[in-house]
Structure 1
Amino acid sequence: PGQIWLKRVIAEMGGKDAILVDNDCDIELAAESIVKSAFGFQGQKCSACSRAIINQDVYDEIVKLVEVKTKALSIGNPVDGSIYMGPVIDKSAFKKINEYIEIGKTEGRLIAGGTSDGSLGYFIQPTVFADLKPFSRLMQEEIFGPVLAICKVASFDEALEVGNNTEFGLTGAVISNNRFNLEKAREDFHVGNLYLNRKCTGAIVGYQPFGGFNMSGTDSKAGGPDYLQLHMQGKSISEAL
């Protein structure tokens, strides 16, 4: 009551980030980008890859390579520098992620992980489900943990359609040697931070403006000059001379 201005809000919220893999691509780069994006920090990053949308021509080969790379990840006490993955943050996250793993077992094909151990910490094996439908819960809902959902598509246009069909729009990546498709993604992949031929995580605030579309945020970009406009009032002035 009594205020004469609207309160401004800058919000960075969730994501259901996807890596799109074209049929003309570097297979090794695709698999490595997916695994690193999905399981770094136990998948507890708003920018983490939780969906891999792969062209049918390279699907089986990449899925197998993702499986191999995921199973090779080391899990344990993160104080040990040789360990890649530690535990998830708390009991609530542990419970939620395990619930989604059980959902995944009914929606897709489990190819890695799927187990957990809460005896000495909240440890969850990096988990991968393949052959998911675009509107399955694992492809739509934010999990915020080490769970990856993989979907097969017939074309790059279908990959973009599936990539855009969640309520979020934070980060995304495209792995392709096709310049036309990379340019198409620039125009049509509706994410605030788009990465081409690299993983979808790793933006450094202060160097790369970061922020998402749709329910991922307020379209602001932390780390960019336009961010300052949200803290200022613009005045337009004209004078007849």
Structure 2
Amino acid sequence: MATAVNYSSQNLESSLDEAFERELARARQGMSEALPHVVAGKPVADGEVFDRFDPVMPGESVSRALAAPAGVVTDAVAAAKETTRIWRNRPYQDRIALLRAAKAEFSGRAAEIAGVISAETGKTRLEAVAEAYEAGDLIEQYCAELERHDGFVTPMRSQAEERNTDVLRPYGVFGVIAPFNFPVALSVNMTAAALVTGNTVVLKPSDKTPWSTALAAEILGGHLPDGVLNVVHGGAATGQALAEADVDGIAFTGSAEVGWSLVRKLGDGPWARPVLAEMGGQNPAIVTASADLDAAAEGIVRSAFGLSGQKCSACRRVVVDGAVHDQLVDKLVERAKRLSVGDPADPTTDLGPVIDDAIAARLDQALATAGRDGTVVTGGRIEGQRGNFFAPAIVTGLPAAHPLTRDELFAPFLTVTRVDGFAAAIAEANAVNYGLSAGIFTTDDTERERFLDEIEAGVVYVNRREGATTGAWPGIQSFCGWKASGSSGKGGLGPWYLPGFCREQSRTIGHP
């Protein structure tokens, strides 16, 4: 399918719409056999079966997999170890060619991939199809970066009797722990970066989305030698076993609590092993008195409520000058109320359900707290549905530094904080532990430049109507978290991600 779709797209062409609906219906039929692990290119059927239920129709199993015992994780890491020397010594042009073959398959199977993603996560068609295309663009981004740097081999100044080069070399085996919210794109993001730089991989899908990530691994693995990419399914216990195994590094996307625990675990030993972690955000959009309020309202609503707020870059907080507070709130509420909440199989649906009861329970509690300590202007649980469906919530009037403005909820829940002037807006925007993404709406050049200089976030947007804090795309924006949002100071999707999967070696070779 030739049509390219990204997270700013407004619609799909009719043939892609129809294909998505067929594939979603097929995926919702579920599977009879549990997904096995993949070790050295062979399926391993070991461990207890767990089910993933359709978030639209709880109780209906959409996928099932086996939870890997510790021994399977050990075997998978050993298989990856056995192939490291062959894989890293393969010419980088060959590694790129194999991954680019996989890229073409992601594009060709976009509707199938999107149907599985939607069945497991409740994503709408636009979000699910865009994710399938993003996987292919991520592969291309990293292949192109490796080519641009000539395989990370840099000639150095040499003296008469010697030749000096500086080389970035792979660490060895990377454990990759994938999230549920972008189970294809983010698993491919971490895995492709590790592979193209010459590492081998043991990939653990989220236990909420085993099929989506297994499908991504099947596509990648179909173009790779056995043992280069291995897959182990399961929940927290499998992730812990992987972190405790003989891996040379971890790539992780998920909560700050888990991510920083991995940093500490892999730093505790005779030497520290790298952890490349992206860990969410409590992302602000500043709206100044000079802003175009229609653009601000559109960008904020698109950013806050896509995937029912289950994006680490979603706009969580609006920080608005008191002079335009009431006008902005009215525009936000009007736009939020236009959004249709329902089954992603319906082409008019803008928001599906939140993924499971755990997030729904946190959201119920947050709404109760917001109603007690502030005002829930719009939104809340939609009763009478089988799944956990929530209309987009907008909350105003919370006291300064209220926990609902400080802690990530990961749900369709937006707070609006009134401030007096630009300095107060920047201070409030930065008053959280996270620093993933941030946006501003202003027509004042001085405010724009101060925002770019003072905001504590890695991904920033100015006057972005397509998404106040969201919408990063490979090669267009990088996805780099500051503070508690990232462990490395560099981000995926961009030009500085690949070196994190490598260590530097200086080579001096004398003439014989």
**Could you tell me how far 1:221 is from its partner in structure 2?**
1.1
Report whether the alignment pairs 1:221 with 2:487.
Answer: no
**Could you tell me how far 1:119 is from its partner in structure 2?**
3.6
Q: 2:301 aligns with which of 15, 20, 35?
A: 35
Return the letter of the residue paired with 2:496.
Answer: D
Matched ranges for 1:87-102 at <5 A: 87-102=353-368
Task: Output the CA distance in 2 between the equivalents of 1:83 and 1:233.
Answer: 46
Query: Which residue pairs with 2:443 in the alignment?
Result: 177
- Aligned residues of 1:134 and 1:162 also touching (Cα < 8 A): no
Higher strand share: 2
- Aligned residues of 1:88 and 1:94 also touching (Cα < 8 A): yes
**Could you tell me how far 1:66 is from its partner in structure 2?**
0.7
Q: Which has the higher contact order (CA 8 A, sep 6+)?
A: 1
Classify the secondary structure of the residue corresponding to 1:234.
Answer: strand
Query: Which residue pairs with 1:117 in the alignment?
Result: 383
**Could you tell me how far 1:185 is from its partner in structure 2?**
0.7
- Aligned residues of 2:367 and 2:376 also touching (Cα < 8 A): no
Report whether the alignment pairs 1:208 with 2:477.
Answer: yes
**Could you tell me how far 1:114 is from its partner in structure 2?**
2.5
**Could you tell me how far 1:230 is from its partner in structure 2?**
1.2
What is the CA deviation profile of residues 162-200 of structure 1, one whole-angstrom value per residue up to 9, with x for unaligned ones?
Answer: 000001000000000001110001110100100000121
What is the CA deviation profile of residues 100-141 of structure 1, one whole-angstrom value per residue up to 9, with x for unaligned ones?
Answer: 111111221111013333741110111110122331011011
**TM-score normalized by structure 1?**
0.93
Task: Output the CA distance in 2 between the equivalents of 1:49 and 1:86.
Answer: 18
Percentage identity across paired residues of the two chains: 33
Return the letter of the residue paired with 2:272.
Answer: L
Task: Output the CA distance in 1 between the equivalents of 2:479 and 2:275.
Answer: 16
Q: 1:136 aligns with which of 402, 416, 435?
A: 402
Query: Which residue pairs with 2:432 in the alignment?
Result: 166
Return the letter of the residue paired with 1:232.
Answer: C
**Could you tell me how far 1:4 is from its partner in structure 2?**
5.7
Task: Output the CA distance in 1 between the equivalents of 2:316 and 2:372.
Answer: 17
**Could you tell me how far 1:236 is from its partner in structure 2?**
6.0
What is the CA deviation profile of residues 70-95 of structure 1, one whole-angstrom value per residue up to 9, with x for unaligned ones?
Answer: 11211111111211111000111111
Classify the secondary structure of the residue corresponding to 2:358.
Answer: helix
Q: How many residues align?
A: 239
What do you get for the CA RMSD once the two structures are aligned? 2.0
Report whether the alignment pairs 1:230 with 2:500.
Answer: yes
Query: Which residue pairs with 1:85 in the alignment?
Result: 351
Task: Output the CA distance in 1 between the equivalents of 2:399 and 2:461.
Answer: 24
Query: Which residue pairs with 1:55 in the alignment?
Result: 321
Higher helix share: 2
- Segments of 5+ residues of structure 2 without an aligned counterpart are 1-243, 247-268
- Aligned residues of 1:12 and 1:216 also touching (Cα < 8 A): yes
Classify the secondary structure of the residue corresponding to 2:278.
Answer: coil
- Segments of 5+ residues of structure 1 without an aligned counterpart are none
Return the letter of the residue paired with 1:136.
Answer: H
Task: Output the CA distance in 2 between the equivalents of 1:5 and 1:226.
Answer: 23
Matched ranges for 1:60-79 at <5 A: 60-79=326-345
Classify the secondary structure of the residue corresponding to 1:11.
Answer: strand
Return the letter of the residue paired with 1:7.
Answer: R
**TM-score normalized by structure 2?**
0.45
Classify the secondary structure of the residue corresponding to 2:411.
Answer: coil
Report whether the alignment pairs 1:108 with 2:374.
Answer: yes
Between 1:133-142 and 1:48-57, the stretch displaced more is: 133-142
Task: Output the CA distance in 1 between the equivalents of 2:441 and 2:298.
Answer: 11
- Aligned residues of 2:381 and 2:388 also touching (Cα < 8 A): no
Classify the secondary structure of the residue corresponding to 1:125.
Answer: strand
Runs of 4+ in 1 over 4 A off after TM superposition: 1-4, 235-238
Between 1:187-196 and 1:130-139, the stretch displaced more is: 130-139
Query: Which residue pairs with 2:132 in the alignment?
Result: none
